[in-house]
Amino acid sequence: MLILITNIPVMCYTFMLESLFQGRTVGKMLFKLQVVSQDGTKPSLSDFFLRWVIRIVDIWFVLFAFALAGYSFWFLGLFIPVVGMVFIGKSKRNQRLGDVLAQTYVIKAKKRLSLSETIYQGVKSTYTPMYTNVLQLQDKDIRMIKEVLENYKRTKNADSVKLLAAKAQEILAVENSEPPLKFLRRLIKDYNYLANQDHETKTEGMNL
């Protein structure tokens, strides 16, 4: 029992660090990995907590068994995540049980785009935007859309694309008959075009 008590900080390690550091532990930082929710955003505190609790099934039950049995090599339980490994191998998107229940994914973290890389991309001057109120979105929203689309290329997780498209449609109060993927790509293009136009107008005004 003393072993279990003294190892509470170790057991809480992932929950505390993932909650504080945008879904990353020290190990995830080193390997450029990150926990994200189904729509590509940062998971909520309850999501992180659920992932952590289910680690009891995925990993810690072996540690508990060794500790309660009084084995001096109880710490080997840390390296035998039997249930987690089996579930990852069997799940459709290589998720452990905690990720499935919390609706989260562990992805390869990409370098964040700068403001200029996100907004001011070249769009032909002859382009006609479809969603003229797209500037209601912010730079962080467009960055999120881009990241979800990039994640889709790697994971083929259409659920996050659908959820984000529905959310964007709700915010902009627009009707959309296009497939979610095409809709999000068009939003990025419309945003780039209109943001460029707005930037040029402001620049001209300052030069007058």
**Could you report the per-residue pLDDT of 151-198, keeping only the tens digit for each?**
888 778 788 899 899 999 999 999 888 899 999 999 998 988 888 776
CB count, 10 Å around CB of 127?
13
Q: Taking phi first (over 0 means left), then psi (-120 to 50 degrees means alpha), and beta for anything else, what does residue 111 get?
A: beta
Residues 75 and 142 in one domain: no
Note down the domain range covering 44.
2-108
Q: At what angle do helices 139-155 and 180-207 cross, to 10 degrees?
A: 150
Residues 97 and 9 in one domain: yes
Who's near 94: CB < 8 A, 6+ residues apart? 88
Residues 13 and 75 in one domain: yes
Residues 90 and 173 in one domain: no
Domain endpoint, select from 53, 84, 108:
108
Residues 62 and 148 in one domain: no
**Whether the predicted model's global pTM rises above the 0.75 cut:** no
Give the count of domains, the chain. 2
Residues 58 and 18 in one domain: yes
What are 38-90's pLDDT values in tens digits?
Answer: 766 788 899 989 888 887 666 655 555 555 555 554 444 444 455 666 666 77
